[in-house]
Amino acid sequence: MTTLLSLRDVWVEYGDKVVLERVDLDIEQGSFVSVVGPSGAGKSTFLRLVLGQEGPTRGQILLDGIPLTAECHPDRGVVFQRYSVFPHLTAVQNVAFGLECDQSLLLGKLFGRAKRDALARATEMLAAVGLEHNLDVYPAQMSGGMQQRLAIAQALIKHPRVLLLDEPFGALDPGIRNDMHTLVTRLWREHGLTIIMVTHDIKEAFKLGTRVLAFDKRRIDPHAPNRFGATAVYDVPVTKKTQAEAIAADLAGGAAA
Ligand SMILES: Nc1ncnc2c1ncn2[C@@H]1O[C@H](COP(=O)(O)OP(=O)(O)O)[C@@H](O)[C@H]1O
Ligand SMILES: [Mg+2]
């Protein structure tokens, strides 16, 4: 097993509010890490750290043993619950935009051959997520599930090694969510991805993950709620048995819904 990401005594503080404290984790390449925990436990903050959108107040984050730099990076793609696609761009433009953004730093906007290549790659990626018949459709014309497929295509176009999912299926109906589980599991395998997925749904966490982390506060000061931060209080490997139980519970829940 190779360690892809390491967090070493990571803290995040906003003013005198401690959000995360003493986070120490190694994340293996190719693993699928589910992150659960109460609202406000710093799960999204944790993803922003890994994305390099934000630096820790203290501690260190290493990717392949090298400290993360806080800049736009093709190593990491991200999908949020909503709003990660641009409403004024069609599906294929949304996906190609990732590449355009990347290269525009050097070249300005893509044109000619580079643009055709970008559109061809975007089309291929849309086919991989099952949107091959929706290339010229705008997000507003898509269902929630289709928008999330689009967001995943957009995140994967740069072939990131780490895919970060922040409650990506929370707003979807159970049947659609199940289709998305199948899709994400397939993409994870086919692209050799490492995935970190925040979810509210513990069944989903165990069904998809190879490991489940629970973020919460270890200690609480009743007089000063901001004094202590959350950390990974549980770190559970998913076994075949726990996964099978989660899938069974998910099926039962889906049937009842
Ligand atoms: N930029 C910020 N400035 C101040 N507080 C913040 C900022 N970002 C997040 N927080 C606070 O950090 C805590 C954790 O937020 P978040 O990571 O979004 O939690 P979760 O995703 O687990 O619900 C919340 O109390 C939130 O208000
Ligand atoms: Mg969040």
Look-up of token digits 């990660």: 84
How sure is the predictor about 161, in pLDDT bands with cuts at 50, 70 and 90? confident
Residue 12 CA: which ligand 1 atom is closest? 12
Name the more confident of 80 and 156.
156
Characterize 22-41 residue by residue with b for buried, 16 or more Cβ atoms within 10 angstroms of its Cβ, and e for exposed. Answer: bbebebeebbbbbbbbeeeb
pLDDT at 97 over 90: no
Sheet strands (E) in the chain? 3-14, 17-28, 32-36, 58-63, 66-67, 76-80, 162-166, 194-198, 211-217, 230-237
**Could you tell me the residue ranges of all domains in the chain?**
1-75+162-257, 87-159
Mean pLDDT, residues 118-136: 94
pLDDT of amino acid 238:
92
Distance of CA 56 from the midpoint of ligand 2 (Å):
17
Three-state SS for 56?
A: coil
Residue 109 pLDDT: 60
53-57, 88-92, 112-116, 130-134: the lowest-pLDDT one: 112-116
Ligand 1: distance of its center to the CA of 9 in Å?
19
pLDDT of residue 53: 82
pLDDT at 256: 45
Q: Which class is 1-75+162-257 in CATH? A: alpha beta
Residue with tokens 């039962």: 252
Per-residue pLDDT, 80: 63
Decide: 205 in ligand 1 pocket, CB within 6 A.
no
Structure tokens at 131: 């949107």
Nearest-atom index, ligand 1, CA of 41:
22
Tens of pLDDT, residues 1-55: 899 999 999 999 999 999 999 999 999 999 999 999 999 999 999 999 988 888 9
- Percent of the chain at pLDDT > 70 equals 88
Q: What is the pLDDT of residue 155?
A: 87
Distance from Cα 199 to the centre of ligand 1, integer Å: 16
- Ligand 1 pocket member 229 (CB < 6 A): no
pLDDT for the residue 98: 74
Please give the model's pTM, rounded to 2 decimal places: 0.90
CB count in 10 Å sphere of residue 58:
14
Contact predicate 6/26, CB 8 Å: yes
Q: What is the mean pLDDT of residues 121-144?
A: 95
pLDDT of residue 71: 58
Pocket residue to mutate for ligand 1, from 11, 12, 13, 44, most atoms within 8 A of Cβ: 44
Cβ of residue 39 lying under 6 Å from some atom of ligand 1: yes
- pLDDT digits 0-9 by tens, 207-256: 999 999 999 999 999 999 999 999 999 999 998 888 888 888 888 875 54
